[in-house]
Structure 1
Amino acid sequence: MSDQGLSGTPPDDAWLDAECRRLLDFGRRVAHPLGGAAWLDDEGAPDLSRPVHTWITSRMVHVHGLGALLGVEGCTPIATAALDGLRTTLRDAEHGGWFGAIGSDGEPEGTAKSCYDHAFVMLAASTATVAGLPGADDLLAEATQVFERRFWDEDLGRVFDEWDRTWSEAAPYRGLNSTMHSLEAMLAVGDATGDTSWHRRAGRLAGLVVDLAPAYDGRLPEHFGPDWSVDLELNRDRPDDPFKPYGATVGHGLEWSRLLLHVEAALAAEAPPGLLETSRLLFDRAVADGWHADGAPGFVYTTDWSGTPVVRQRMHWVAAEGIAAAAALHRRTGEEAYARRYAEWWAYAAEHLLDRERGSWHHELDPANRPHASVWPGKPDLYHAVQATLLPRLPLAPGLARALALSQGRSAPA
C-alpha cells in the first residue's frame, strides 16, 4: 500500500480501506489459549507472559466485528473466539460482571470491577450483535443489565468508576475516562438494540463535559472525588500512568470533541445545547497545547493546567483520535481548516506511526518521534487506529457497527 499523496492531501477511501485491512491482518493471531484476546507484541505475536485483559478482549471483538461487517475474510472467527472469552474466561460466574484480567493460572488478577472494562464489554457486545455473532445477544443483555444496575447513577446522570468483586462497596474515585467510554458504549447499545434511552443517557454524560470544558479553558479534568469534586493533582507523582495520568490528557480532549458530535447527531432535536461549541473548544485547546508543542511534530501525551507539556511521548492513539476528530468536525461544519488538519495528521501518522516492516502502528514514540515503550510496550490495541480508518468514511450517526451494517444492506433493529 503506497502512502503517495499523504504529504498534503487526505487519503482517499481506497487507501483508508487498505490500511484498515492491514491493521486487522496484524491482529489475526490474537486468540489466547485461555480464552479472550492476547496482548500482542511488536510483530503481532501473542505475549502469553501477560494477562488476558477484558478491555483488550472487548476491543478486539469490536474491531474484528467491524471487519466481519466489512466482509474481511477471517474476522468473524477471530471476533467470535474473543467474544467467547467474555462469555467464559473473563466473566465472574459467581458474582456477575467481568474481571479486569485473568492471569496465566486462570485466576483473576485483582478482583475490582471497573466501569471502564464493563463499558467496553457493552461496546463489544453491541458490535457483535450487529454483526450477528453467536452468543452476542445474550452477552449484550447481560452486560447492559449489569451496567444499569451497578454503574449507572440515574439520579446524577453519571457513572460509578469501580466496585469490589461482590458489589458491596463502590470506590470513592470517579473518572472522566470511564465516563467517556460509557458514553461511547451507550451510543452503540442504542444503535444495536433500537432502545433510544441509551442515547439519552449518553446525552446526560455529554452534559458533564459541556459544563467542565469552558470552566477549565478546554482542558478537561480527568479525576474526581465521590461527590464529583475535581481533583487536579491526582498522580502528579506518576504523570505517565496509562489510565489515570496527571493533568490534561490531550487525546481525551480530541476524543471527547468527536464523541460530542456523535451524541448531537444521534439525539438530533433532543440533543443538549452546546455540543458543537464545546467540541470546537476541546479541539482547539488540544491542538494549541498538544500539537508540535516542543519543536517536533506529533501530539504530546499530557499537559499541566497552564498547557505546558508534562509527558512528551507521542502515543499512537492520540494521533488517531486527532484524525477522527478533525474528520468529524469537517463533516459537521464543512470548514476547510478541519480538512487541513485531517490531511496533516494522516501525513504525520504515515511518516512516523505506521510500521511497514512489522505491521500495525508504533504505539509510543519518544519526543523525537522514535519508537519507544515506556508506557505502551508491544502493540496490544487496534481499536483507535482501525476506527481512524472508518470514521472519516461514515456518518456521525448511527455509530460504526450500525452504519457499516446499513451500508451492506442489513436492516436496522426493530
Structure 2
Amino acid sequence: MHSLRLRATAEGPEFMSHALRAAASRLEHWIRQDALPLWLERGIAPQTRAHYERLTPEGVPDLAASTRVRVQARQAFFFAAAYHRGWCPEGKATAKALLEFVHQHAAHPTAGAGYTHLLNPEFVVVDTRQDLYDHAFFLLANAWCYRAFGEQQYLDEANTLVAHLDEKFGSSVGGWIEGDYAYPYRRQNPHMHLFEAFLALHDATGDAKWLARVGELFALFQTRFFDAPLGVLFEFFDDNWVRLPNAKGDTVEPGHMMEWVWLLDWYGRRSGRPVARYIDTLYKRGLAIGLAPSGLLYDAVAADGRIIDPNKRCWGITELIKASLVQIRAGNPAAEAIAIKGVEDLFTYYLCASTPGSYVDQRGPQDEVVVDVAPASTLYHLIVAAMELLDHFELVASAR
C-alpha cells in the first residue's frame, strides 16, 4: 500500500483510477474465464443437479462432504448474477435447477414453508432444522432470479418465505429468532444478510415495502448491533438483544464491519437516510483493529484491538474492497490504494490455487495456508466484489 501511495502522489489521481480499473478487470476476468467454467463443470452433481459443498485442493468435488442446503441458494445467486451480467449464458438454467432441486428434495416436510439445513453426501436431508441465516440467502437468490429472469414464481417464493419467517420466527423485541431449534445466543449476521436480501428485492421490484423492511433492520443496527462509544459492530446477544457478558460477547468481526459499510451506503442511496457517520466510523475502526500487518483482515478481534482469532478468511478481503469503494466515493484519500491492494492481496493469498477458478479459503496467524479446500459459498463474496468494482465507476460518473 505504501508504494501505491507514493506512485499516486508522483503520478496523480489518474494513475490510481487506471490501477483500480485494471484491478476490476482482473477480477472480472477471473470470474468469467476461470471460476464460472470450473464450477459449472465440477461444482454440479450430474445426477441430482445439486451443488457440491466444496472442491478439494486438487480442484475436484469433495464427494465425502455433507452439503449445507444454503449452498444451493448462494450458488443460485452466483449463477443468476453471472447470467444477469452477461457473463454466463448457462447461468439461468443452472440457477433455476438449483432452486428446483431444493423445492423437490430439501423443502421442510412439515413447516409449511421454508427449507431444511443439511444434506448428506448423497444429497438426502439429514438435518431438518430451519435456520434464519439459511433463509436470508434463499431470499437473496429469489430476488436475483426474479431480477435476472423476470419470472413471477421467484417473487412469489420471496413473499412466502418472508410471511413464514414473520409467523414462525418473528421476535417481539426486533428481528427474528435464530430458527426452530434451541440456540445459545442471537446473531447479528443473519439480520445483516436479510438487510441485503431486502435491498436486493427492492432493487428487483421497485416495491417500497422491501425498503421499509430494510428500515426496520436499520433501526436494529442503530440500537443493538452498533456500539457508538466503541465504534464497533458486535456479533452475539441474548434474547433481548443485550450483548453477551462473556468472551463471546466481546467478539468483533472486522469483515462484517466492512460489509455493513457497503450495505449502509446502499441503503443510504436508496432511502436518503444519513448514514455517513456509521460508515466512516466502521471503516476507520475496522482498519484500526482488524488489519493484519500483511493487509489481510483478522477473522475476529475485540473492541480494544486484542486479537481473538488470528486467522483470515478469504471473504474478509472482499468486504474490505467493497467498503473501500464506498470510502473512495465519500472522499477518503487513502481508500483507493486500499481497494487496489485488496484486489492484489486477493490474488496473492487466496485466488492462487493450482486449479484456475478455485481458491484458498483461509490463512493463518503468519498468513500461512490453514484451509486449502474451496467452499462453494465463497463465490457469493467474490462475484459481489467483482460487480461492485465494475459498478463503482458508473456511480462515480453519475455523481458528477
TM range (shorter): 0.7 to 0.9
Amino acid aligned to 2:256: H
Q: Which residue, 73, 96, 103 being the options, matches 1:80?
A: 96
Task: Please list, as runs of the form range in 1=range in 2, the aligned pairs for 1:10-89 lying within 5 A after superposition.
Answer: 10-12=20-22, 13-21=24-32, 22-28=34-40, 29-32=42-45, 33-41=47-55, 42-71=57-86, 72-89=88-105
Query: What does the per-residue CA deviation read over 1:207-242, in whole Å, with 9 as the maximum and x for residues that have no partner?
Result: 232334343512222111111111152658xxxxxx
Task: Please list, as runs of the form range in 1=range in 2, the aligned pairs for 1:198-277 lying within 5 A after superposition.
Answer: 198-211=210-223, 212-215=225-228, 217-233=230-246, 235=248, 247-268=251-272, 271=273, 273=274, 275-277=275-277
Per the TM alignment, residue 301 of structure 1 is displaced from its structure 2 partner at its CA by 0.9
Q: Could you state the TM-score of these two structures normalised by the residue count of structure 2?
A: 0.84
Structure number with the higher helix fraction is: 2
CA contact (8 A) 1:258 1:329 kept: no
Aligned to 1:350: 347
Aligned to 2:10: none
Per the TM alignment, residue 278 of structure 1 is displaced from its structure 2 partner at its CA by 0.6
**Distance of aligned partners of 1:290 and 1:114 in 2 relative to their CA distance in 1, 3 Å threshold:** same
Percent of residue pairs identical: 22
Aligned to 1:143: 161
CA contact (8 A) 2:361 2:375 kept: yes
Amino acid aligned to 2:363: L
Task: Please list, as runs of the form range in 1=range in 2, the aligned pairs for 1:107-122 lying within 5 A after superposition.
Answer: 107-122=124-139
CA contact (8 A) 2:258 2:283 kept: yes
Per the TM alignment, residue 57 of structure 1 is displaced from its structure 2 partner at its CA by 1.1
Per the TM alignment, residue 106 of structure 1 is displaced from its structure 2 partner at its CA by 5.0
| Bigger mean CA offset, 222-231 vs 128-137 | 128-137
**Distance of aligned partners of 1:163 and 1:285 in 2 relative to their CA distance in 1, 3 Å threshold:** same
Amino acid aligned to 1:193: T
CA distance in 2, matches of 1:133, 1:101: 29
CA contact (8 A) 2:79 2:94 kept: yes
Amino acid aligned to 1:298: L
Per the TM alignment, residue 343 of structure 1 is displaced from its structure 2 partner at its CA by 1.3
Query: What does the per-residue CA deviation read over 1:138-186, in whole Å, with 9 as the maximum and x for residues that have no partner?
Result: 4334323323333444x5442222124xxxxx75632101111111111
Unpaired stretches in structure 1, ≥5 consecutive residues: 165-169, 237-245, 399-414
Query: What does the per-residue CA deviation read over 1:1-46, in whole Å, with 9 as the maximum and x for residues that have no partner?
Result: xxxx99x932434333212213323321322344532112134432
**Distance of aligned partners of 1:171 and 1:198 in 2 relative to their CA distance in 1, 3 Å threshold:** farther
**Distance of aligned partners of 1:195 and 1:67 in 2 relative to their CA distance in 1, 3 Å threshold:** same
Q: Could you state the TM-score of these two structures normalised by the residue count of structure 1?
A: 0.81
Query: Equivalent residue of 2:126, what SS?
Result: coil
1:379 aligns with 2:375: yes
Query: Equivalent residue of 1:394, what SS?
Result: helix
**Distance of aligned partners of 1:338 and 1:296 in 2 relative to their CA distance in 1, 3 Å threshold:** closer
CA distance in 2, matches of 1:25, 1:184: 27
**Distance of aligned partners of 1:85 and 1:329 in 2 relative to their CA distance in 1, 3 Å threshold:** farther
CA distance in 2, matches of 1:172, 1:189: 31
**Distance of aligned partners of 1:27 and 1:218 in 2 relative to their CA distance in 1, 3 Å threshold:** farther
CA contact (8 A) 1:302 1:310 kept: yes
Which stretches of structure 1, 4 residues or more, deviate above 4 A after TM superposition?
A: 395-398
Query: Equivalent residue of 2:164, what SS?
Result: helix
**Distance of aligned partners of 1:345 and 1:92 in 2 relative to their CA distance in 1, 3 Å threshold:** same
Amino acid aligned to 2:25: A
Query: What does the per-residue CA deviation read over 1:322-354, in whole Å, with 9 as the maximum and x for residues that have no partner?
Result: 0011112223x1332211211121122222221
Q: Which residue, 288, 310, 313 being the options, matches 2:311?
A: 313
Amino acid aligned to 2:157: L
Q: Which residue, 171, 194, 198 being the options, matches 1:182?
A: 194
Query: Equivalent residue of 1:323, what SS?
Result: helix
Per the TM alignment, residue 317 of structure 1 is displaced from its structure 2 partner at its CA by 0.3
CA distance in 2, matches of 1:261, 1:67: 23
1:191 aligns with 2:206: no
1:281 aligns with 2:275: no
CA distance in 2, matches of 1:222, 1:144: 23
Aligned to 2:360: 362
Query: Equivalent residue of 1:113, what SS?
Result: coil
Aligned to 1:394: 391
Cα RMSD of the aligned pairs, angstroms, is 2.7
CA distance in 1, matches of 2:213, 2:31: 31
